[in-house]
Structure 1
């Protein structure tokens, strides 16, 4: 992988960590965390994990489910009353400011939005950066879920109460701010700021000392720069480590994409899940709850590819993939065209990071790098998966 991705300049550097059957099986590093400052990749490097924040937020939700504070089949409007009358976009132009009369027309939802719809991206919400629909445009103009948004998660919920849904909940799959809404629910039900809940209930108990919504000054020397493909080839800086956006606490703590972490920290999270919700004597979830992450929660056991709109933004290939609680799940190995296992769950981040957990093989893989918008992302994850499984000379029956 070094020759194909680092030596050719497609990635600045890579860090791969593989854990299997109770032991660290592989730790590999190559390249740099900061090309401009000639800083080599290091084991304790701090990365922007973007959407790899989502499974962490999903675990926070399930902690509250186990405590009886919320249920996956509950109506979201039970906890967000202002969403009770959300409709599905029909026509018009959603506005981000009050106007005289309705700016758009909606149709009623077929059924109320459920908490499970948020966890599986079947809520009818969207992302502004998708650039597909009038609703996407309204999100974009309103800066919905922007890390700098004043008022944080509370203000985001108020914004969303004024905007229509893309579709009736449960009828389609659309990548969205749904997991950020889950972060809001955790915050509201716990009585703690979302980042405080994660720190007190998850990160500190698990020893995830470098995972947070920002990188503090004393750790900035370990934060890598983030890149994007240059116009003439090679890489150009997208977020410079010396003046990073992630150096300061955000106004909005995004459970969908706002965390920074290390490979070691994220592997501790994976090991907890691999071990049925417990790590080093600390129990986060029960084994039965963790088992839910290996199941497809899409209606009718459908695949993401069946429910997603054409040309959907992708952080993964969707063939053979269902959706679990905050992450994808393998439901048809043959259709993925890759080695793998039914029930393994996974996801990735916008800066080309990736992870997966394979309970049957007692395997967890964490891959870190920092490039946004690279066409190499899907082949990178394909190659990583192929190399990991082809290195295994035995497997469980």
Structure 2
């Protein structure tokens, strides 16, 4: 065979060998086109739908449009909200909170938007994979609520259950015996904890099976208790001054101020303020115009004579071993007490204060009889082991005032309290 014949045979063989390749390529191309069509068709079906196996709680929103998903969620969750009642228990009372009044709102839009976007940023093949081989993905709804109804309920609980403590009190009977009225404990709602407990129920409103909240009342102790007042059992000091020379107005002023102090109780550590207890000296409060010392002169003054009350009380308090916190001498010498033993007051300007430094409560009694004013200080009988007195020593235009302490009738100490300058005689 010549060379031309051989060449022709080779060409025919090559043509026969190319036919299977074309067939295979065609088949593959057809399969790919079909598969691509399937992928495209499958993915395109979800263009407006959420991919499969996307859940919100126990609701499968996969394959639903946004609108369908929202309807399914609202139908389930709004019904749950509307049916919930939270009961608050306190003592033998119960208060209910209807959750339908709390304007509870779920963040449907956020969840549905996030669910819809899932997988959409990927290429078409990954999208197809999301659809054909989905893994369950669960979204959690969050919800908001208005606490106005809750706050209103808590305020109602407070108004119906809170109570203020009442101190034990002490008074003297006409026979001279002490009468003690026991204390009462107060109670206060722990409103902060109650609100937190209610919010916990609301935050987990769908899962909560027990919607009962137990409110707590905190006990508030009174400052003064009966057991404390029982320690008052003896007079520990007394002091009297006379106002026999006083006119009717001055006598009235002494009586009004004295009555304001009568029965005053001081617990250990308490500070007595004459101006705070007696108050402003005004005609509305029963005070009259009488002579009083103002800036070194005797002038007509509403409440004139009240300084005799503060001075008498001062002497009784010192003799009960209760020190002064504030004490001022008169600008004129007082005739109803010895030199250096006065304590003047002027409302809003000068005050007389002393502190109960004793370990037991103190009861102050004022008595007016036959134009004499007396202050009696009562406390525990153990203080009677010691007695206290004031003495003065005059030197020129100065007077030194000492507190003298006696134990079993014998002087055991003499303490200088202060030195006053002697003023000219009153009137």
**Could you tell me the TM-score, scaled by structure 2's length?**
0.18
- Identify, as 1 or 2, the structure richer in strand: 2
Report which of the two structures shows the higher radius of gyration computed on alpha carbons: 2
**Could you tell me the TM-score, scaled by structure 1's length?**
0.18
Greater relative contact order (CA < 8 Å, ≥ 6 in sequence): 1
